Structure 1
């Protein structure tokens, strides 16, 4: 039986959101037509953004341990619903026997082709890492990084989701989107998997939002269903 491996816990709510999206995106009329998931929910992995920004504890050993755990159990694909962890994508991918999807590549692929300037809403660590900016630039799209007024609001949104206060997170995100709209930005990437949980609290976002969790889930389901993993053996 082919398994989808999920390296999660960064954070736990974001991991559950990813799993929910995988299930909802899978066309099935009975249990046996759903995709088998093996989830390593590992919330004690050291903070990724802190490691990138402030030379905090290195999360890579724990990330590689999680990759090993999934590979030992025979997964055929790994998805990591944490954007900041992709700072170490090259090391994780090289370490894994199973292919590892890249969340930024799946997310940026969903940007409308007519978009010429797109905001990247992410942790400070992911922004410094720059992989979203590079993925957009590769498509001749100008990446817009939140300014000193907006980024603290983005960080507060992420922090509130991790603390379980989704209403407060939504209020912070709504403020960010209003500022983006004032600057003429019409599209933003939710390049942190906490942010879509906050966006669910906003009835009418001021800009078009592209959900990195959803796009990773779509790529996961597509990969698995093309290989028949949704069919009981």
Structure 2
């Protein structure tokens, strides 16, 4: 590392192309606003510009603009950008759509102007705005300079001409490279009209206007250089961090049906009145992860790398936590967790915690699971840590549990009735006969065979059935709910 250069500093990405002259002006003023005294001390800047050629009109043109910006932000993400500079007021009419679909910081240009006006012009109430017809129609500045504290004032039409739009977009406008003459005269007339309407300060709502601001003759009220104000705000870093939506990453495919069951329980247990109230999920459905049980009790391939790779893809997809709806896979969690930057919600420890809270009098807990889970001792250790003892079926009944899961007529083969149900029912009855009153369904496929919360044996004895998949789903919901109520702490990290 070069001495004197600070790591983990901001890396700015400037979206160009929407107004090439205006965005280049903001880029120049951004560099000018930075305090370093040597070239090496400057922040990293990426100015990216592609010709924005809109073939549509109205909403079609706006859609093209949205997707143009979003694709550029996606490219910034890949290049390590931390902060997006969006020097286009029109694009701020849909800035919330962009913010909700990226984890990068997008610095708000209108917020920068509002902050400057409130700090620099404390008594200003009537704000004159030089904005395009589209921005006025969307009432962009009215959202920020809200009544009763402020009143937004726009120039009036002059002989049927929209002075500001004509000055920028007209055939002799600023966008065509004309920085003197008619566009300056039009903007001068617009400013005079605003002054006649009694404004306290004038704010350009188009980045191109800053290019000709010095050509406008002296006015009796201040004319803010909104581009330089924006550049200073970007450099200051005095803006709220992005409040991205909490995302649960799911290692899917272990097994496929169990993944669907987990997702169903997430949806059913989420308190929601509409689609948007549900939790954001990122599912990496990877059935090619080697079988966990075959590795633990046989000579099957080691699934560690596949599990880790899947978790890393979820982490790279901006998941905040990871859920693995597979009990046996938790035998490998301790191997991979130290290499991840986000936590795996441990289904086993959450289930044991639930048992202690819900059944405090119980000391012996039945566990129905794959032979790999039993052999790994993950449930046994988790239970012992809370003063509980695992009770597993004997060899004959354990063989029937494995047949119910892996057999040709088992649940992994797509069966949920018939012989597989008879096999698992026999194992449950065997545990009840040993006096067990609470049984953990320690394989995520087993709740598909035993969806009820209580099992009644043939002799009338009963046992409560605990579904770890449901416990895991509820815990993930709890994390997401807590994050939504506390935006400053987005994840469990």
TM-score by length of structure 1 reads 0.94
Structure 1 residue 110 corresponds to structure 2 residue 354: yes
Q: Are 2:331 and 1:87 equivalent residues in the alignment?
A: yes
Spell out structure 1 runs of 4+ moving beyond 6 A: none
* Aligned partners of 1:50 and 1:56 also within 8 Å: yes
* Match in the other structure for 1:166: 416
How far the C-alpha of 1:139 sits from its partner, in A, is 1.5
Out of 125, 150, 173, the position equivalent to 2:397 is: 150
CA RMSD of aligned residues (A): 1.8
SS in 1 for 2:250: strand
Q: Which residue number in structure 2 is paired with residue 55 of structure 1?
A: 299
Choose from 457, 481, 485 the match for 1:225. Answer: 481
In structure 1, list runs of 5 or more residues that go unmatched.
none
Taking the aligned partners of 1:3 and 1:138, their CA distance within structure 2 comes to 30
Within a 5 Å distance, the mapping from 1:33-72 to structure 2 comes to: 33-72=277-316
Instruction: Provide structure 2 residue ranges, at least 5 long, that are not aligned to the other structure.
Output: 1-244, 458-462, 488-493
Write the distance in 1 (CA, Å) between the matches of 2:249 and 2:484: 16
Select the structure with the greater relative contact order (CA < 8 A; seq sep ≥ 6).
1
1:182 is aligned to: 433
Q: In the TM superposition, what is the alpha-carbon distance from 1:212 to its structure 2 partner? A: 0.8
Alpha carbons 1:121, 1:146 under 8 Å: kept: yes
Deviation at 1:205, TM superposition (A): 4.0
1:85 Cα deviation from its structure 2 partner: 0.7
Would the aligned equivalents of 2:369 and 2:441 in 1 still touch at CA under 8 Å?
yes
How far apart in 1 are the matches of 2:412 and 2:253? 11
Q: How far did residue 202 of structure 1 move?
A: 9.3
**Maintained 8 Å contact 1:8/1:81:** yes
Q: Secondary structure at the match of 1:14?
A: helix
- CA offset digits 1:181-226 (Å, max 9, x no partner): 2221111111110111110279844421110101111111111111
Deviation at 1:95, TM superposition (A): 2.0
Q: What is the deviation of 1:103?
A: 0.8
Mapped partners of 1:88, 1:120: distance in 2:
19
Structure 1 residues 140 and 203, CA, compared in 2 at 3 Å: closer, same or farther? closer
TM-score (norm 2): 0.45
Q: Alignment partner of 2:322: what SS? A: strand
Match for residue 260 of structure 2 among 1, 12, 16: 16
Deviation per residue, 1:54-83 (Å, 9 max, x gap): 131111111111011101111011000001
The aligned length equals 231
